[in-house]
């Protein structure tokens, strides 16, 4: 009888160990849904953050859907939810706002984190945004110091809060160091239309702009043709036009994605505004490297920017947040 009990205990222990190993090996599943192609910087930043999490955090499965039309957004999102992903992220702006909230309500045990201009919804729908107004302000300072015509340009997507605050921050930075500067602002009416952005940039250059903040793709081509300088946006875009792109605001979504994964794993997920994770203090925003422009720009300008960076990081300087539609000069 003792031998039978011992054998039974050994079987139970073996099963327990096997079950534990299976549980330990279960991957964390992330899904992402994007309205544009991942080549578009905004969604591309989220995609790269998910890829980095998969590489650095280990035992993560990641799937994504790109170029999802408004009519298909809810359907694709529900398919991911039905497959019980642990974390679903994406871009909800405009077409995805209502569908993403509806789906999240129907699947309260799944964590949802979406880029949105609105607030979180209990119990499981969190929001984030690209709070890169701080490095945009620093770019404005550089532009204000470098301009010879006292005319700057900005080519942006759509006049909504998250875009407006970048444009306004760039303009505020320029005016801070150069009160004489004028800023011409053009919106292309969409997230990804390089030909239209190029056309808008050429019009600004012909009106006297000698530096342009390229909030959207398409500006660099115009800058190269017209031999002026530009600032990138969202990621380090110097490689796209090394002779043109001085620097630019960089959005790093990895701190946000990492935090989301950790919260879900700890079973501590709640609806929250994740905005702070996209700011400089948390590592979610920064100024792109100057690359070859490190030697071309006046040393005093670079030092001015570095000094202000330190103040932003230690909390002794706050870049104003202004989401009102900016006025084009």
Question: What is the residue extent of each domain of the chain?
Answer: 28-128+253-282, 133-248+288-314
Least confident of 9-13, 47-51, 65-69: 9-13
Domain covering 133-248+288-314 in this structure, CATH number: 3.40.50.2300
Cβ atoms of 184 and 153 closer than 8 Å: yes
Write down the pLDDT at residue 17: 45
CA 163 to chain centre: 12
Q: Give, in order, the Cα–Cα distances in Å from 97 to each of 74, 100, 101, 114.
A: 10, 6, 7, 9
Write down the pLDDT at residue 24: 62
How much is the average pLDDT of 72-76? 97
Domain 28-128+253-282, CATH homologous superfamily name and number:
Response regulator (3.40.50.2300)
> Which is more confident, 280 or 1?
280
pTM of the model: 0.85
pLDDT digits (tens, 9 = 90+) for 251-297: 999 999 999 999 999 999 999 999 999 999 999 999 999 999 999 99
Write down the pLDDT at residue 317: 97
Computed over every residue of the chain, the mean pLDDT equals 92
Asked if 28-128+253-282 and 133-248+288-314 have one fold, the answer is yes
Least confident of 5-9, 154-158, 214-218: 5-9
pLDDT band of 4, cuts 50, 70, 90: very low
pLDDT digits (tens, 9 = 90+) for 227-263: 999 999 999 999 999 999 999 999 999 999 999 999 9
Write down the pLDDT at residue 94: 83
Three-state SS sequence of the chain? CHHHHHHHHHHHHHHHHHHHHHHHHCCEEEEEECCCCCCCHHHHHHHHHHHHHHHHHCCEEEEEECCCCHHHHHHHHHHHHHCCCCEEEEECCHHHHHHHHHHHHHCCCCEEEEECCCCCECCCEEEECCCCHHHHHHHHHHHHHHCCCCEEEEEECCCCHHHHHHHHHHHHHHHHHCCCCEEEEEECCCCCCHHHHHHHHHHHHHCCCCEEEECCCCHHHHHHHHCCEEECCECCCHHHCCCCECCCEEECCHHHHHHHHHHHHCCCCCCCECHHHHCHHHCCEEECCCHHHHCCCCHHHHHHHHHHHHHHHHCCCCCCCCCCCCCCC
pLDDT of 12 higher than 60: no
pLDDT digits (tens, 9 = 90+) for 108-159: 999 999 999 899 999 999 999 989 999 999 999 999 999 999 999 999 999 9
Q: Is the bond preceding 247 in cis, omega lying within 30 degrees of 0?
A: no
């Amino acid at each position: 009888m003792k031998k039978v009990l011992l054998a039974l205990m050994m079987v139970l222990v073996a099963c327990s160990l096997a079950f534990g190993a299976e549980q330990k090996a279960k991957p964390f599943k992330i899904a992402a849904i994007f309205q544009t192609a991942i080549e578009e910087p905004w969604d591309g930043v989220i995609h790269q953050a998910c890829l980095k999490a998969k590489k650095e955090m280990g035992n993560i499965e990641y799937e994504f859907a790109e170029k999802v039309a408004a009519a298909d957004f809810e359907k694709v999102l529900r398919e991911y939810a039905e497959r019980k992903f642990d974390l679903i992220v994406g871009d909800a702006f405009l077409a995805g706002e209502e569908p993403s909230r509806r789906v999240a309500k129907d699947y309260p045990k799944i964590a949802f984190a979406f880029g949105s201009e609105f607030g979180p919804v209990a119990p499981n729908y969190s929001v984030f945004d690209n709070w890169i107004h701080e490095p945009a302000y620093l770019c404005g300072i550089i532009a204000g110091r470098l301009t010879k015509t006292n005319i700057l340009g900005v080519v942006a997507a759509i006049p909504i809060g998250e875009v407006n605050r970048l444009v306004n921050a760039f303009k505020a930075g320029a005016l801070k160091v150069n009160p004489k500067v004028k800023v011409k602002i053009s919106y292309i009416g969409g997230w990804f239309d390089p030909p239209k952005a190029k056309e808008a940039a050429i019009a600004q250059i012909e009106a006297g702009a000698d530096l342009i903040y390229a909030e959207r793709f398409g500006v660099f081509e115009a800058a190269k043709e017209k031999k002026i300088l530009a600032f990138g946006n969202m990621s380090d875009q110097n490689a796209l036009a090394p002779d043109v792109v001085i620097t630019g605001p960089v959005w790093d979504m990895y701190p946000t994605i990492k935090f989301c994964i950790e919260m879900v794993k700890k079973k501590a997920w709640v609806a929250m505004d994740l905005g702070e994770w996209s700011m400089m203090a948390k590592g979610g925003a920064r100024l792109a490297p100057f690359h070859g422009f490190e030697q071309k720009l006046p040393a005093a300008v670079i030092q001015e920017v570095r000094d202000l960076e330190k103040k932003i990081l230690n909390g002794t300087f706050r870049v104003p947040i202004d989401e009102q539609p900016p006025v084009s000069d």
